[in-house]
Structure 1
Amino acid sequence: MPSLRSLAAATGTTLALALAGSTSTALAAGPAAPVTAPAVTVSTAFELPGARVYPEGITADPRTGDLYAGSYTDGTVFRMTPGRRVAETFLPAGADGWHTANGLEADRSGRLWVTDSTSGVTVYDTRTRAPLARFEVEGDEPTFVNDVAIAPDGSAYLTDSARAVVYRVTPRRLAQARGGSAPLTPYADLSDAVGPNAPGTFTLNGIVADPAGRYLLTADMTGGDLYRVDLATRAVRKVALKGGDMLHADGLELRGATLWAVHNTVDTISRWRVTRDGTAARAERRLTDDALALPTTLTWHRDGLYVVRSQFDKGGPMGEGTPSLPFSVALVRGL
């Protein structure tokens, strides 16, 4: 795992301190935004109990409507139920030997995928909370398993921010590993596309799967690019972005042709219109707001975007100071 200093450098903390502190709720219309765009609101949806939560990932269960968020600093996974303000602990800190929770994804089969940046991903039964299988990265080179997406066929795809690769776990491999552990093997290597970077630099971060099962989209948070991985051929190509970029991009969310990206250290969410084949995307709107509190991931659920407020720059892995308690999840409407 890269050092926390490397993490701060890779995500541009210095730039964040220069920009984020002076912003207030502001909406900048992109080149193609309508003249009378609806107002955007940012409110608190849920509170996460604990003094050092520093949440990183979030997902919505497509079957139950519950949401889950994970703590980057101790690995606690919280469950949030609509109508209840305070989240409950779903998995305690240090469960099953891991101590950080990055990307989370709930699938349509009642499973919760939880990535541990230093090792891999563990799959849980959301009903019993029991671990079903664990997949671990092999080799001694630095690794940072970051985000996860589920394709329509049930396969899980995960980014490694340190190695610039995408891993895959198919339903068959999950069934074979059930009750035990197995290697997390690379599916697509994007290092040539991303290009060389300084040691410790983070590249691939957020990842989403096309609802039709044709491709993946993953963001290079340092280079500012978006990449398309063809699920039939594994071919990698850079997505043509118009009206913006993916600098500081962390979590992604895709609904139909609409793609949202959180840009963590600049307290921003951008919205994009993606072409049907996923080869181009046009910026539509952009929200920058201090109230997002260094957002790292988001998910669309029912009435808006639920966004984790990581506060990584306030006494967490990217800065010094004191976080505002309680930690929370924001609801963004109108974007």
Structure 2
Amino acid sequence: MRTSRIAALAGFAGIAASALSFTGLGLGTAANAAEGTGRPGTYLLEGESFAQGGSKFEGIGVDQESGKFYVSEVTGGEIQRGSADQAQAEEWLAGDGTDGRYTARGITVDDEGRIYIAGGPNGTGNDRPDLWVYSPSGELLAALRVPDNDAFLNDVAIGPDGAAYFTNSNDPTIIRVAEGANGWEATEWADGSSLITRQEGFNLGGIVTSTDESAFVVAQGNTGQLWRFDIATGEVSEIDTDGANLRNADGLIRQGRDLVVIRNFDKQIVHLELNPSATSAELVSSTATDPNRIFTTGKLLDGRMLLVDSHFDEQTAQGPYEIVTARMPR
């Protein structure tokens, strides 16, 4: 197992200020210049404005050791790779059918640097893969179907056991992916249908572990609820969110007990303080984001949030295509 830089980066969290306004989040170049980090405030992605629908992006995964990040393109399934200290990202994996991938959604990276990609509706109604696993060098390790033929794999997080856990935006299930004695396997790990009702729109989406790693925190965007999936049992319960408005909750970012909920089309970032086991959360603030951007999700890298500007509000997405940085609200 590789040595992680997470502990070494923890000191950067002290630069974060309370997010009472969009400016207070410290987005963009000016904030980073003020901190003297020497790192770009935004990262440019390669895109194709001339292609049908343009380029629209959604997921992001980060490798804490190498400083690299990976971004998924909904329109085509390409994967781009960037570095914390370089302003321009580049296409890393081709799309348009490469490894059966025509669209891509959530991404995460494990401690070995392996990249897990959720396919959204890529495998719905056909025999294409629902998800992929790649080595840091870009070698395809697995392209898997999941048991549910109606799955829409949205986001993914690494659990305490080292396996990857994918949320399903159709049925309220979580899929576990790991390499076993017989190779890579995708199995249904938890079914929350006893408490979670499938509704029109996007159901389960963003996913992170709780502070004490006893549970997964999962967002249901169409209802504005957060759900707790117990890691030991898979049992589901609703998280008390202190009356916070979380409709259109998409990506989740957690640092310690601080949880950021990105409300994509509502153009809000909500800051909650979780209790360690994620049975409840206290509302701290709700902050308006840039009215000209639709942020879908984000990840922490070198003490900063990297937020994906999706261009989902454009019929044909026009550049520039960017990842925007911000301080973690505290």
Q: TM-score, normalised by structure 2?
A: 0.81
Q: How does 1:1-335 map to 2 (within 5 A)?
A: 28=20, 39-43=24-28, 44-51=41-48, 52-93=54-95, 94-117=97-120, 118-119=122-123, 120-126=130-136, 128-140=137-149, 142-172=150-180, 176-178=182-184, 182=185, 184-198=186-200, 201-210=201-210, 212-290=212-290, 293-315=293-315, 322-333=316-327, 335=329
CA deviations over 1:219-252 (Å, ceiling 9, x no partner): 1111111000111121110001114132101111
CA distance in 1, matches of 2:23, 2:291: 19
Indicate the SS of the match to 2:182. helix
CA distance in 2, matches of 1:278, 1:139: 28
Aligned identity (percent) is 29
Between Structure 1 and Structure 2, how many residues are aligned? 286
Unpaired runs of at least 5, structure 2: 1-18, 29-40, 49-53, 124-129
CA deviations over 1:4-42 (Å, ceiling 9, x no partner): xxxxxxxxxxxxxxxxxxxxxxx658xxxxxxx992222
CA deviations over 1:92-135 (Å, ceiling 9, x no partner): 12321111110000111120001111332111001x20011122
TM-aligned CA distance change 1:70 to 1:38, over 3 Å: closer
**Does the 8 Å contact 1:42/1:291 carry over to 2?**
no
**Does the 8 Å contact 1:39/1:334 carry over to 2?**
no
Q: TM-score, normalised by structure 1?
A: 0.80
**Does the 8 Å contact 2:211/2:257 carry over to 1?**
no
**Root mean square deviation of aligned Cα:** 2.0
CA distance in 2, matches of 1:156, 1:329: 24
TM-aligned CA distance change 1:214 to 1:54, over 3 Å: same
TM-aligned CA distance change 1:289 to 1:237, over 3 Å: same
**Does the 8 Å contact 2:209/2:216 carry over to 1?**
yes
TM-aligned CA distance change 1:283 to 1:39, over 3 Å: same
Shift of 1:327: 0.7
CA distance in 2, matches of 1:264, 1:97: 28
CA deviations over 1:174-230 (Å, ceiling 9, x no partner): x6325xxx4x321111223122534xx321111112354311110111111100011
CA deviations over 1:66-111 (Å, ceiling 9, x no partner): 1111101111111111221110111112321111110000111120
CA distance in 2, matches of 1:66, 1:256: 22
CA distance in 1, matches of 2:138, 2:297: 23
More helix by share: 1
Shift of 1:289: 2.1
Indicate the SS of the match to 1:137. coil
CA distance in 1, matches of 2:74, 2:260: 22
**Does the 8 Å contact 1:194/1:203 carry over to 2?**
no
CA distance in 1, matches of 2:188, 2:147: 10
CA distance in 2, matches of 1:123, 1:227: 26
Give the structure 1 partner of residue 7 of structure 2.
Answer: none
TM-aligned CA distance change 1:228 to 1:334, over 3 Å: closer
CA distance in 1, matches of 2:291, 2:111: 32
TM-aligned CA distance change 1:50 to 1:125, over 3 Å: same
- Counterpart residue type for residue 78 of structure 1: Q
Unpaired runs of at least 5, structure 1: 1-26, 30-36, 316-321
- More displaced 10-residue stretch of structure 1: 210-219 or 76-85: 210-219
TM-aligned CA distance change 1:196 to 1:161, over 3 Å: closer
Shift of 1:302: 1.3
